[in-house]
Amino acid sequence: MARDCAEALVLPFEATDFQAIPGIAERAWSWKGRVDGLVNNAGVSQRSLAIETAFAVYEKMIAVDLLAPIALTQALLPKMVKAGGGRIVAISSVAGIAGIPARSAYSAAKHGVIGYHDAVRAENEHLGIQVHVIAPGSVRTNVSRNALTADGSKRGVSDAAIDNGLPPEEVAKSILAAIESGKRELILAKPAEYDIAVLRRKDPEALFDRMSAMVREGYAKKLAADKTKA
């Protein structure tokens, strides 16, 4: 799967500039005459209770995390099918399988990512399009620092789950291996978070009880305390 990249075309763009995306896709396609792989990885997270969160936060989250990947895929999918196929990799989240407290907007968007890409796979697999959906748990990045709070401001502080999450290099290797093996969905998380995703499908009632208990036991207050310490 590894490739030596002697040259690269870099096309920076604002993910939610939907009017510009078809032109960006055309420039990418024209560079080598095709696009063999598309990785939809645009995303911003959230740390706030739904009852406190401004609607504008939901609008931004859906635009960045869901509509931007859809816009880019829609711009490239017909070309990829006409060229004989290709791969689409969608980065969702464990929060895209199970609704996680303090991430209502993020969960909504990442659920949508899974639903959209599952449908694209079903419609186009026989046309040579391979779709891989990746659902990571906590990964050691700045995602929590950059997460949006209830008023849309940046959180500015990490949390223990992220700091103790999977190393990005390990995650990247696992994703590449899954793509190479043709795996359609990969849940990539430490045991506790992996179990959340599995439980959502096997015993949702038990998971709902677990998530409610997390909040009753002070999960949201702990997140707020982390922010206060920053």
What is the per-residue DSSP string for 147-158? Answer: -B-TTS-B----
* Ramachandran class of 2: left when φ > 0, alpha when ψ lies in -120 to 50, beta otherwise: beta
Query: What is the CATH code of the structural domain delimited by 21-229?
Result: 3.40.50.720
**CB of 169 within 8 A of CB of 131?**
no
Rounded to whole angstroms, the Cα distance separating 112 from 93 reads 11
Query: For the residues 55-72, what does the mean pLDDT come to?
Result: 98
Query: For the residues 105-117, what does the mean pLDDT come to?
Result: 98
**pLDDT attached to residue 1:** 43
**pLDDT attached to residue 89:** 98
Q: pLDDT band at residue 2, thresholds of 50, 70 and 90?
A: very low
Q: Is 58 one of the catalytic residues?
A: no
Q: Are strands 37-40 and 185-188 parallel, antiparallel or unpaired?
A: unpaired
pLDDT digits 0-9 by tens, 141-168: 999 999 999 999 999 999 999 999 999 9
The pTM for the full model equals 0.92
Of 106, 116, 194, 219, which is the active-site residue? Answer: 106
**pLDDT attached to residue 223:** 76
Q: For residue 95, give the nearest of 61, 122, 130 by alpha carbon.
A: 61
Query: For the residues 23-51, what does the mean pLDDT come to?
Result: 96
